[in-house]
Each structure stands twice: as structure tokens, then as C-alpha cells.
Amino acid sequence: MNLKLSLLFILSLLLFSCSAKTKSDSENNDVSNSSVNTYDGEVDNEDISNENIDETNIETNTLSSGCGLADGTYSATVGYNNPETGYSATYTLDVDVEDCQVIQINFPNDGYLDQDHISAADIDEDGNANVDGEDGKTYEIQIDN
């Protein structure tokens, strides 16, 4: 009989200790969950103020750097030279400018020379560019004011 009592006592101790540990773990989880969800409702305005915006990084598309011309189409005086034939002439034509480069020469009959036929050329601060074309042809461009 003593053996049965001893086994019953040991079994009771085991059950009691397991139940106490489960309750303790549950209370700890409740405490840690409540601390994670704390928020006082205040926002630190210094972090989101306009003073922290670096105005030098704001980009504008109005002017390209260097030549002072915005991207677009401009009237230009175009000096054409074909060294193979010796023919040269001067025309007033529209040219397309992108990133301070002449990228296309437009003709009145809706024809054009684009980057398949000419090399893009940098425009200097005076509005001048020297464009190389196919077969050694050259185009001296002066953007009209």
C-alpha cells in the first residue's frame, strides 16, 4: 500500500508542476504581447519636417545642363557640306534637341535625319553644334534665338 501511495504522491506532484508551469507561461505571453502593442499616438515632427528635404536634389525638366536649352524643337541655321560632291548650302530648318544634343534635323517636306543617319552632337553654350552625317556629310548648326 505504501507503494501505491508513493506513486500517487509522485503523480500528483508531476501534474501540479506541469499545470503551474503552463499558467506561468501563459501569463508571460500576455505581458510580452501587451508590451509589443504599445503606442503613445505621438509622431516626432522633426523626422518629417520640410527642413529635412534637400532642395538641391529636386530635379527640374525646364533646362538641360550646359547649353541652356530645354528639350524640344528649335529653328536653326544649318550649314550643309558634302565633301564627295563639293556641294554646300545653308538652310533654315527645325532641329530636335534632347539633353543638350541635336538628335534630329527636320525638313519642310516632313523628311528628317535622325540618329540612324547622323551622330548626336553636343550643343555649346552659344547654341552651336557640328553634326556628322553619312558618307562624310557634315551639318554646322546654329540654334536661332
pLDDT in tens, 83-111: 999 999 999 999 999 999 999 999 999 99
State which residues form the domain around 7: 2-37
When computed from its CA atoms, the radius of gyration of the chain, rounded to whole angstroms, is: 40
Query: Residue 145 — very low, low, confident or very high, per pLDDT cuts 50/70/90?
Result: confident
pLDDT tens-digit readout, 26-71: 444 444 444 444 444 444 444 434 444 344 333 333 344 578 999 9
Assigned domain for 55 exists: no
Task: With CA atoms as reference, report the closest residue to 91 among 100, 81, 102.
Answer: 81
Q: Are residues 137 and 76 in the same domain?
A: yes
Assigned domain for 52 exists: no
Number of domains comprising the chain: 2
Assigned domain for 57 exists: no
Q: pTM here?
A: 0.56
